[in-house]
Amino acid sequence: MEIEVKAKIDDKERVVKALLSLGFTFLRKEFHEDIYFNGIDRDFKETDEALRVRDSNGKYFLTYKGPKLDKISKSREEIEVEVKDKEKMIKILEKLGFKKVRVIKKVREVYKLNDITACIDEVEGLGLFLELEKEGSLEDVEKLLNILDKLNLRNNIIRKSYLELLEEGIK
Amino acid sequence: MEIEVKAKIDDKERVVKALLSLGFTFLRKEFHEDIYFNGIDRDFKETDEALRVRDSNGKYFLTYKGPKLDKISKSREEIEVEVKDKEKMIKILEKLGFKKVRVIKKVREVYKLNDITACIDEVEGLGLFLELEKEGSLEDVEKLLNILDKLNLRNNIIRKSYLELLEEGIK
> A12-47: per-residue pLDDT in tens?
999 999 999 999 999 999 999 999 999 999 999 999
Residues of chain A with Cβ-Cβ distance to B54 below 8 Å are none
Round the average pLDDT of chain B to a whole number and report it: 95
pLDDT of residue A142: 94
- How far apart are alpha carbons A44 and B40 in whole angstroms? 15
Collapsing DSSP to helix, strand or coil, B74 comes out as: coil
Question: What's domain A2-170's superfamily in CATH?
Answer: Hypothetical Protein Pfu-838710-001 (2.40.320.10)
pTM of the shown model:
0.92
Q: Which residues in chain B have their CB less than 8 angstroms from residue A89's CB?
A: 62, 81
Structure confidence at residue B74 (pLDDT)? 87
Largest CA distance in chain B: 49
What is the number of CB-based contacts under 8 A between chain A and chain B?
A: 69
Going along chain B, which residue ranges are E strands? 2-8, 25-38, 50-56, 59-65, 78-83, 99-113, 116-123, 127-135
Q: Which residues of B are catalytic?
A: 36
pLDDT in tens, B138-153: 899 999 999 999 999 9
Here the ipTM equals 0.92
Q: Across the interface, do A81 and B79 touch by the CB < 8 Å criterion?
A: no
- The residue of A47, A77, A83 whose CB has the most chain B CBs within 10 angstroms, and thus the best one to mutate to test that interface, is A83
Output the CA–CA distances (angstroms, integers) from residue B88 to B15, B19, B73, B101, in the order listed: 39, 39, 34, 18
pLDDT at B23: 97
Contacts of A43 in chain B (CB under 8 A): none
A62 with B83: Cβ contact below 8 A: yes
Q: d(Cα B99, Cα A85) in Å, to the nearest integer?
A: 24
In tens, the pLDDT along B65-81 reads 999 988 888 899 999 99
Task: For residues B35-62, give the mean pLDDT.
Answer: 97
The C-alpha atoms of residue B144 and residue B15 are separated, in whole angstroms, by 15
Integer Cα distance of B64 and B53 in angstroms? 9
Closest to B79 in 3D by CA, of B49, B59, B105: B49
Beta bridge partners of A135: A2
**What are A's interface residues with B at a Cβ cutoff of 8 A?**
39-42, 49, 51, 62-64, 66, 79-85, 88-89, 91-92, 95-97
Neighbouring C-beta atoms of residue B5, cutoff 10 Å: 24
**B103, B86 contact by CB (below 8 A):** no
* Residues A60 and A89 sit within 8 Å (Cβ to Cβ): yes
